Amino acid sequence: MITAARCRGEFGNDRELKLDPEPSSVRKARDFVAKQLTELGFPRCVEDGILIASELVTNAQKAAPETPCLLAVRVDAGYHPVIEVHDTSPALPELRDADFLSEEGRGLHIVDALCEAWE
């Protein structure tokens, strides 16, 4: 399973990508996550990982439309792959009740379903 984390702070590896706030960045995020998860030895997580990255990068662009976001892929101490998206918004992601007709509020439910944990 994949843990997706949205957090702040420094991190010390080179599996990270700066993404400009433009639509083409979502495609770049998907390609980057697929490559990193494969290289790190998690090819079976690629399908979920690209969906998670798409949702988190789209959210970052909505929340901080003027600044780039940072996407990182790493492996945690328990040997789980972690996908992180850092943005400059002071607001926090919140899982919304998406009713049947709602056109929004579904992204984090997808992330929640695909991840072991997220924050």
Ligand X SMILES: Nc1ncnc2c1ncn2[C@@H]1O[C@H](COP(=O)(O)OP(=O)(O)OP(=O)(O)O)[C@@H](O)[C@H]1O
Which amino acid appears at position 55 of this protein?
E
Q: How far is the CB of 109 from ligand X (least distance, A)?
A: 6
Q: Which stretch binds Mg ion (CB under 5 A): 5-13, 22-30, 55-63, 84-92?
A: 55-63
3-state secondary structure of 36: helix
Cα–Cα distance between 67 and 12 in angstroms, integer? 21
Q: How far is the CB of 104 from ligand X (least distance, A)?
A: 4
Closest CA to 50 of 26, 72, 19, 74: 26
Choose which of 10, 66, 94, 97 interacts with ligand X (CB under 6 A): 94
Q: Which is nearer to ligand X, 42 or 82 (CB)?
A: 82
Q: Which is nearer to Mg ion, 36 or 59 (CB)?
A: 59
Residues 60/88, Cβ–Cβ less than 8 Å: no
**Residue tagged 């901080």 (tokens):** 64
Tokens for 105, please give them: 């509020």
Q: How far is the CB of 47 from Mg ion (least distance, A)?
A: 19
Q: Contact between 54 and ligand X (CB under 6 A)?
A: no
Q: Segment 59-118, which members bind Mg ion (CB under 5 A)?
A: 59, 107
The Cα angle at residue 52 between residues 74 and 12, in degrees rounded to 5: 20
Residues that bind ligand X (CB under 6 A): 6, 55, 59-60, 62-63, 87, 89, 91-94, 96, 104-108
